[in-house]
Amino acid sequence: MTVAALHEYLEQSARRYPQRCAAVEASSGRQITYGELDALSDQVRDHLRRIGVRPADRVGICLPKSIASLAVLFGILKVGAAYVPVDSLAPPARNAFIFNDCGVRAIFVEASRAETLRCELARLAAEPCLLPLDWSDGPSPLATYLARVEADGLAVDESARPGPDNLAYVLYTSGSTGQPKGVMLTHRNGSSYVDWCSDILAPDENDRFSSHAPFHFDLSILDIFVPLKHGATVFLIGEELGKNPTRMASVIAERRLTVWYSTPSVLTLLVEHGRLDARDDHALRFILFAGEVFPVKHLRRLKAVVPRARYLNLYGPTETNVCTYYEIPQTIAEDRSAPFPIGRACSHVKARVIDANGRDVPRGQEGELAISGAPVMLGYWNMPERTSAAFHVDSSGRWYRTGDVVIEGDGGVYTFRGRRDRMVKRRGYRIELGEIETALYRHPAISEVAAIARSEESGVSIKVFYASRDGHALSLIELKRFCAHNLPAYMAPDWFSHQQLLPKTSTDKIDYQHLMRME
Confidence of residue 138 (pLDDT cuts 50, 70, 90): confident
Same domain, 24 and 113: yes
Same domain, 443 and 386: no
- The CATH number given to whatever domain includes residue 451 is 3.30.300.30
- Residue 151: inside a domain: yes
- Tell me which of 224 and 504 has the higher pLDDT: 224
Cα distances from 150 to residues 1, 100, 153, 156, 335, in angstroms, run 34, 27, 9, 12, 64
Q: What pLDDT was estimated at residue 201?
A: 98
Same domain, 389 and 437: no
Same domain, 184 and 235: yes
Does 140 have pLDDT greater than 70? yes
Does 497 have pLDDT greater than 80? yes
Same domain, 232 and 348: no
Among 159-163, 221-225, 332-336, the range scoring the smallest mean pLDDT is 159-163
Same domain, 386 and 483: no
Helix (H) or strand (E) holding 39: helix 34-50
Q: Where do runs of H (alpha helix) occur along 391-475?
A: 433-441
Q: What is the total count of domains within the chain?
A: 3
pLDDT average, residue stretch 333-353: 93
- Residue 263: inside a domain: no
Same domain, 351 and 372: yes
Domain that holds residue 466: 424-518
- Residue 145: inside a domain: yes
Q: What pLDDT was estimated at residue 133?
A: 97
Q: What pLDDT was estimated at residue 506?
A: 59
Same domain, 78 and 52: yes
pLDDT average, residue stretch 137-145: 90
Domain's final residue, options 351, 386, 419: 419
Same domain, 346 and 407: yes
Same domain, 372 and 489: no
Does 507 have pLDDT greater than 70? no
- Residue 208: inside a domain: yes
What letter would DSSP give residue 341? P
Q: Give 64-90 pLDDT, tens digit per residue.
A: 999 999 999 999 999 999 999 999 999
What letter would DSSP give residue 135? G
Query: Rounded to 10 degrees, what is the CA torsion of 40, 45, 51, 52?
Result: 180
CA angle 219, 263, 458 (to 5 degrees): 155
Same domain, 126 and 16: yes
- The CATH number given to whatever domain includes residue 238 is 3.40.50.12780
Q: Give 269-315 pLDDT, tens digit per residue.
A: 898 888 887 776 689 999 999 988 888 888 999 999 999 999 999 99
Does 152 have pLDDT greater than 60? no
Q: What pLDDT was estimated at residue 454?
A: 85
Domain's final residue, options 419, 437, 472: 419
Among 19-23, 241-245, 504-508, the range scoring the smallest mean pLDDT is 504-508
- The CATH number given to whatever domain includes residue 404 is 2.30.38.10
- Residue 160: inside a domain: yes
Domain's final residue, options 386, 403, 419: 419
3-state SS, residue 364: coil
* DSSP assignment string, 290-311: ESS---HHHHHHHHHHSTTSEE
Same domain, 110 and 231: yes
- Residue 156: inside a domain: yes
Q: Give 412-461 pLDDT, tens digit per residue.
A: 999 988 777 778 888 888 888 888 988 898 899 998 888 999 877 767 89
- Residue 71: inside a domain: yes
Q: Give 375-426 pLDDT, tens digit per residue.
A: 999 999 999 999 999 999 999 999 999 999 999 999 999 998 877 777 888 8
A 10 A CB-CB count for 419 gives 15
Q: What pLDDT was estimated at residue 438?
A: 81
CA angle 484, 487, 491 (to 5 degrees): 105
SS (H, E, C) 48-110: HHHCCCCCCCEEEEECCCCHHHHHHHHHHHHCCCEEEECCCCCCHHHHHHHHHHHCCCEEEEE
- Residue 259: inside a domain: no
Q: What pLDDT was estimated at residue 390?
A: 96
